Amino acid sequence: MDEALGLAEFCRQLPKVELHAHLSGSVSETTIQKLQVKKGVGHDHAHQGDIAIGKGETRHLEEPFRIFKIIQDLSDTEEAIFTMTEDVISEFAADGVRYLELRSTPRHVPHTGMTPSTYVESILSAIQTCKDREDVVVRLLLAIDRRQSVETATTTVRLAQEYVLRSDGVVVGIDLSGNPAVGDGRDFIPVLKEAQNSGLKLALHIAEISQQATSPETAALLSLPPDRVGHGTFIHHNQDLADMVVDKNIPFEICLTSNVKAQTVASYSDHHFQHWYSKKHPCVLCTDDKGVFCTTLSEEYRHAAETFQLTRPDLWDLSYHSIDHTFGGEDLKQQLRDKWNTEKEKLFQTT
């Protein structure tokens, strides 16, 4: 193994899987400025401190949702959505991500004429544009926002069902997300079951805040069961919930920096990743919102290595086994494993 390769560079060159990336929250400062120019507003419209939580900063969980609103105000047309998606994909690819699942809530913006369908079409168009140019496979989850009505959620699921057939396999699942302090996830269980019964995968934000560790909502959502849990920050605080996750072998989408900066965990060393990783439960390192939280997936791997004393072979295994939890089909998973094994020879060469 090339020990001369620094840890940060090793993590960057490591082929990686990103399974928890919100489109709006993944937009970089560069893209924000590009959107400002297209919208005809000055660069002082949203300073970097307003749209991102920088290194060493922490802010209450409510803050990222305020930032998302700023970004959404700049991205209220199909052209802006295309630009955002294209840039986000390119940036993930440059960071060594070889399989990417984006998630986004279809939006209706009457004053620009953008509909949920044209919103999804714009994302799919950008994915198609990047397909041959970037060395990354991209899939899409349509997101249900907890603040929305069940009727709107049903529309989102029906849209996903339609695009499963029309997107050549790009649309693969449903995400349940949004401010965890708002609403009750149990309201969406019937529509989530409909999605599941139609073959869509489920990635659900569950027990993201402490009060959800004792909420009936959490057990109800886990009972579906979802194909992956987003965050699951406080599940291990409740033995019954932890047993459910273990019994169903539900993987965790782990977002270290996001949880630390949003103050749902006190520090990297306090993160629940260690609890589940030590038990050999499936965990996938993710960014959540790389733009808002000023991180990259390579940095998440570096944080994991430095905080939890993971070796480079540990990091490799973590990345390689993440392929098992993608929402791509078995043929695609095998293609990714072959790609990873080819990359491994280069990455672990002797000096």
DSSP 250: P
Distances (CA, A) of 205 to 84, 168, 218, 310: 23, 26, 10, 26
Tell me how long the chain is.
Answer: 351
Torsion of CA 36, 39, 40, 43, to 10 degrees: -10
| CA proximity to 262, closest of 295, 235, 239, 302 | 295
| CA proximity to 106, closest of 129, 78, 74 | 78
Instruction: Name the token pair of 46.
Output: 């949203």
Residue 173 · residue 202 · CB < 8 Å: yes
**CA–CA separation, 106 vs 154, rounded Å?**
12
DSSP 134: S
SS3 253: strand
Specify the pairing of strand 97-104 against strand 16-22: parallel
**CA–CA separation, 305 vs 261, rounded Å?**
18
Q: Which residues contact 261 (CB under 8 A, 6 or more apart)?
A: 53, 57, 58, 59, 293
The H or E element that residue 129 is part of is helix 116-131
Q: Please identify which of the residues 208, 299, 300, 343 carries the catalytic annotation.
A: 208
Half-sphere exposure of 200 (CA within 13 A, CB side): 30
SS3 75: coil
Q: Is 208 a catalytic residue?
A: yes
φ, ψ at 134 (rounded to 5°) = -110, 145
Active-site residues: which are they?
A: 208
